[in-house]
Structure 1
Amino acid sequence: MYKLFYYPLNASMAPHFILEELQTDFELILVDRKNEAHKAASYLSLNPAGRIPTLLDGQQVVFESAAICIHLAEAHPAKMLIPQIGEHNRAACLQWMMYLTNTLQAELMVYFYPQRHSIDSSHISAIVAAQEKRIADIFALLDAQLENQTFLVGEQLSICDFYLFMLAIWADELKQPPLSFEYLNKYLRRLAKRESIINVCKKENLSLVDYQ
């Protein structure tokens, strides 16, 4: 049985979506960020980066959210959440997964933690404003990608879609949230009807009312 070390609405949400979509047995283990549990020696022995999430797959430990998503999808090829080696869309799937984690997620982290990017507190508001624009540009690119296709990687649901849904949830407080983009809006509302996403949002106490 898989064990997912998680905290609600954190980067563990995408692997949580994947586990629900796979309909496989798994156990959720709460890592209480409020009490710095992710910095405890017992957790650091699994994940020396001290970040959430971490996945236990038998004796194998995997950390980094995107890596966990890829690992889970490749362990369950029948669910077709990642194209197999040699398949036409595999490169596109990996491309978008890396774009989401290395570009969109990275820019969101600067937006949420601007104080980490300057030692001068007077710079904070300017950093946040700049990030609003950078993130809006990223969502515009994703919106264009979705204009003529159902999912981020063509017509096949993939790990990228669950990862993007997680990041879209994080970004709903922006001046230009994902739902303000025409094709992203339709796409996110479709995804929000999936049982796996509904189940995870119930467990993590997130309302999907904005996506209905």
Structure 2
Amino acid sequence: MLAPYTLFWERLSGAIAPQVMLEELDVSHCLVHVDMTAGDHRQEAYRSLNPVMRIPALRLPDGKVIGESSAIMLVLGEAHAGSDLVPAPDDPDRPEFLFWLTSMAANGYPIFSRAWHPEQFTTNAEANESVRQRAESHLAEFFAVMDGAIAGSPYFLARGFTALDIYLAMLSEWSADRQALFEANPHVGELCRAVRERPAYRKVLEMHTAPLAA
């Protein structure tokens, strides 16, 4: 019998957060590795599933495939509402949750692309370093905003652990210097350390950071 969910993933990609969600929810799923270094995400086999050619993507029990980490997390949280990882539509925390999840996805996530691949954002090779440096300054601003917005202790919302914490912890994994990030943003550091202690997150992170098989 096939697992109800199939997650298409790549190491240390935006698949971390949806994969942690699947583990937290304890729902049956299988994983399909998409080698982005080899350009597999641009091949027809994957493009037919996710036309925007981004990782991750999730095949749902009805066969539909959706992309974008934040969208996947919302769908999973609402399909398994008993977990409380995503506030229900009538929950008072719902508007705040959606605001911050969307802010992380729309404002934080894309900055890492500029920091990692500045050449994709300029036609002038000599400008690559200035693009990267500007991205790093924007990341500092972004995490400072997150640090000031954290209302719980240690988690983002006062209600406790939610998908917001998973998503923000994932973003922190991409920082060039996590120690400096946490020193500058102690609430972010406390949150991310708490998330890293959760068995589901540890399991996924170990998988994403394990040496590649020869």
TM-score, normalized by length of structure 1? 0.91
Secondary structure of 2:31's counterpart equals strand
Structure 2: how far apart are the matches of 1:162 and 1:24? 17
C-alpha separation in 1, matches of 2:178 and 2:126: 21
Distance 1:165 1:87 in 2: 24
For the Cα contact (< 8 Å) 1:149–1:155, is it kept in 2? no
Report percent identity of matched pairs.
25
The residue that corresponds to 1:90 in the other structure is: 94
Per-residue displacement from partner, 1:45-88 (whole Å, max 9, x unpaired)? 10011111110112121111111111111100000011111111
| Structure 2 residue corresponding to 1:50, chosen from 48, 53, 61 | 53
What amino acid is aligned across from residue 6 of structure 1 in structure 2?
W
- Flag the 1:148–1:87 CA change in 2: closer, same or farther, 3 A: closer
Could you tell me which runs of 5 or more consecutive residues in structure 1 were left unpaired when the two chains were aligned.
208-212
- Report Cα offsets for 1:109-128 as digits up to 9, x if no partner: 11111111111111111111
| 8 A contact 1:179–1:188 mirrored in 2 | no
Per-residue Cα deviation, 1:137-190 (whole angstroms, up to 9, x for no partner): 111111122265432122321111111111100114479434542121111111
Corresponding residue SS for 2:59? strand
TM-score w.r.t. length of structure 2? 0.90
**One-letter code of the match for 1:78?**
G
For residues 147 and 55 of structure 1, do their structure 2 counterparts lie closer, same or farther at Cα, with a shift above 3 Å needed? closer
Distance 1:200 1:179, change over 3 A: farther
Distance 1:86 1:102, change over 3 A: same
> Partner residue of 2:44?
41
Structure 2 gaps of 5+ residues are none
Q: Which residue of 1 aligns with 2:13?
A: 10
Tell me, in whole angstroms, the C-alpha distance in 2 between the residues paired with 1:196 and 1:175. Answer: 22
How many residues were matched structurally? 207
1:154 aligns with 2:158: yes
Runs of 4+ in 1 over 4 A off after TM superposition: none
Question: Structure 1 residues 175 and 194 mapped into 2: Cα distance closer, same or farther (>3 Å)?
Answer: closer
